Amino acid sequence: MSKFTNRKGKIRIYDGTGTPFYLELDFENGNFSGPIGRSKTEEILIMARDVFTSDAHNIEGGDSKIYEPFQITFTAFLESTAQTGYLLDWLEGNTVNSNTIVTTKGDTQNDGANNNPAFADTDKKTCNVEYRLDAATDIVWHYNEVYFDLQEQSISESEEGVDLSLTGMVYGTVVRDTAFTTGTSVEA
């Protein structure tokens, strides 16, 4: 038996082009944190005058719970290479290594039927974040439509290096799989 360890983790961020561009991050600290799925609608118990009888039943609550964003966090190790500039360009919504990065907002359906709504502010861009645990059978979580507000990101330094702590808000679906999405590296 072998267990997953943080030494086996990889993270990629993807854009929304047909064959997406991606950037694989140096994930030094092994500190990814996020839920493994999206919330479901609330179940509301209906009783007759607050008395449980054979007529008691549940009704489905409103859809807002399945559309509310939730947070993921992780830290990227910054190095004195072009990758750091690519990551910062990506987060700022710029072109990355001469590649136009396309938002992923509205690409998934939290309710399984309707595309998630676009942001009112068209300058905001989302990307997909994929977290892989590498083993005999890989596990990959796909966090779709993730928005990184620059004010929520922080940089810290120590004797060992400089880290960028990333906090993203997930507006889209969460899917578990066994492989990264096929794409083209923006570093190529």
CA distance 33 to 75: 10
- Residue 101's pLDDT is 96
The number of helix segments (H) and strand segments (E) in the chain equals 2, 11
**At a CB cut-off of 8 Å and minimum separation 6, what does 49 contact?**
none
Percent of the chain with pLDDT over 70: 94
CA distance 132 to 8: 8
- Residue 8's pLDDT is 64
* Paired strand residues for 176: 141
Q: What share of the chain is helix, strand, coil (3-state, %, to 5)?
A: 10, 40, 50
Q: Is residue 1 predicted with pLDDT exceeding 60?
A: no
**At a CB cut-off of 8 Å and minimum separation 6, what does 113 contact?**
none
Instruction: Give the pLDDT band of residue 27 (cuts 50, 70, 90).
Output: low
Q: What is the pLDDT of residues 51-92, one digit of tens each?
A: 999 999 999 999 999 999 999 999 998 888 899 999 999 999
* Paired strand residues for 71: 169
Is 187 exposed, middle or buried (CB count within 10 Å of its CB: 0-12, 13-18, 19+)?
Answer: middle
Closest-CA residue to 131 (of 97, 181, 187): 181
The predicted model gives 154-174 an average pLDDT of 94
Average pLDDT in the chain: 92
